[in-house]
Amino acid sequence: MTDTTSRFIVSADWLQERLTDQTVKIVDASWYLPQHNRNGKAEYEAGHIPGAVFFDQDEIADHTSGLPHTVPSPDVFAAHVGQMGISIDASIVVYDGPGLFSSARVWWLFRVMGATKVYVLDGGLDGWKAEGRPLTNEPTEPQATIFAPVFNADAITTFGEMRSTVETGSAQIADARGAGRFTGAEAEPRAGMRSGHMPGAKNLPIAALAENGRLKSIEALHETLLAAGIDLDRPVVTSCGSGVTAAVITLALQSVGHADNTLYDGSWAEWGSRDDTPVVTGKA
């Protein structure tokens, strides 16, 4: 990778050269909304990168929260990924189908749990397939290991903290949902949920951060973040529909060297479903 590319991105060439390297662990983190008409687990079983394990974001979650795929406890996370053969000191490459949709969430989760060598595959599985690279439908049989988590709770914004941020303006809010949902022109995909956005939020759809499933260059990310109204000298809280694509903004921020950012795990699934939270419509 060049210095114009995020330090968190690895190329297909880089990964293909290391498919037999036992210190490199490959994670398929494909997850989709109903309107995508794609099934991550089914696609994994039909054909995945050799050695990849499937990370089920709905299963490896806190099922007591009442919200979709919220951050699991460190013990739950560790138990699952340990069975996948992944230790905290491994080099972990995460991918999804289109390249930059759900992979960043699992990249972020591993980092929240203390892993430091975590990367996203440039172009995702769709790009890998388009280039005729190796695939297999044979199940991966990893050797179980111990993942010893070092949990960073400070990377996560809770509902109470999000309410305080909205009330005080102590941090910027970057919302990864599409413009229609952000402005309220389009209905939310989850029933019974208001559309619109939190007061003061800036809209930064994930499509603006990528080209053909590949994260933009560092320079282009700078320009896109600034164009969205994000002051890179101030703290940022990222949000989206349910905490998945918010991590794409987190990836972009950390790629350009912004460190003072957190992710609102409940995101709009929590904020928009309550009747005691302020919601505004129209452009920010």
Return the closest-CA partner of residue 32 out of 62, 8, 61, 68.
68
Measured distance CA(117)–CA(124) in Å, rounded: 18
Q: H helices of the chain, where?
A: 12-16, 40-46, 74-83, 103-112, 124-130, 159-168, 179-183, 218-227, 246-255, 267-271
| Catalytic pick among 221, 240, 247, 251 | 240
Which strands form 261-264's sheet, in the order they lie side by side? Answer: 156-157, 261-264, 236-239, 172-175, 202-203
Q: Decide the pairing of beta strands 202-203 and 172-175.
A: parallel
Q: Does residue 174 carry a catalytic annotation?
A: no
**Residue 264 DSSP class:** E
**What are the residue numbers of the active site?**
240
